[in-house]
Amino acid sequence: MVTADRMAEMDMGPGTDLGGFGWFVGVWAVMMGAMMLPSLAPRASVPFAAGFLLPWIAAGMLAYGLTQGIRSLDPAFLDWGRAGPYLAGAVIVGAALYELTPAKRTCLGHCRVPQLPGGTASTRVVRLGIVRGTWCIGCCWALMAALFALGVMSVVWMALTAALIAADKLLPSALAASRLTTGLLLVLGIAVAFAPEQVPALTTPV
């Protein structure tokens, strides 16, 4: 609910303006809580969850810097009327292909370990959360890149990404989850590149 409220009317599709640094970091932190915490075991403690989110907040800061740096160059070829759809589609297809790599399988293996610490707050539990969050970035960074390509301020695409992340970590078969994600992203990437007007919920930049 907080995420939807903060992101209301902010979706401008691929290339969405990220706003000021402080505002974006606040929104990003709430988004990561909404997207990542449901896939953690219910018994995970608050300190573990807090540690888990810290690497994702750092990753969001990095993504903000990269995005704003590229935007400051004002490359005309990235306009939606030129190469924009093909670039967005390529990022999404790249995310699909990453699902098939050994790096993805290794990181996902660490993410799917069921034992999570419970109990009271401790520095050790926070550190364990940071380690698991870092593995999660290795597992899911390409999905987050696809989210940026679709419109990072879209609640619809955020919810789809969260569902794919949860499927990756929670479905009994990691292979089935990977095939599901790969197929969906391939279709979506091709559609965004060649027929963006036919993609439901995709806001095309003006």
pLDDT of residue 123: 85
Residue-wise pLDDT tens digits, 78-108 = 788 889 999 999 999 999 999 999 999 999 9
Q: CB within 8 A of 47, min separation 6: which ones?
A: 120, 121, 122, 125, 126, 129
- Look-up of token digits 């060649």: 194
Angle formed by the axes of helices 21-36 and 46-73, nearest 10°: 130
pLDDT of residue 204: 83
Most distant CA pair in the chain: distance in Å? 54
How high is the mean pLDDT of the chain? 88
Q: pTM of this prediction?
A: 0.88
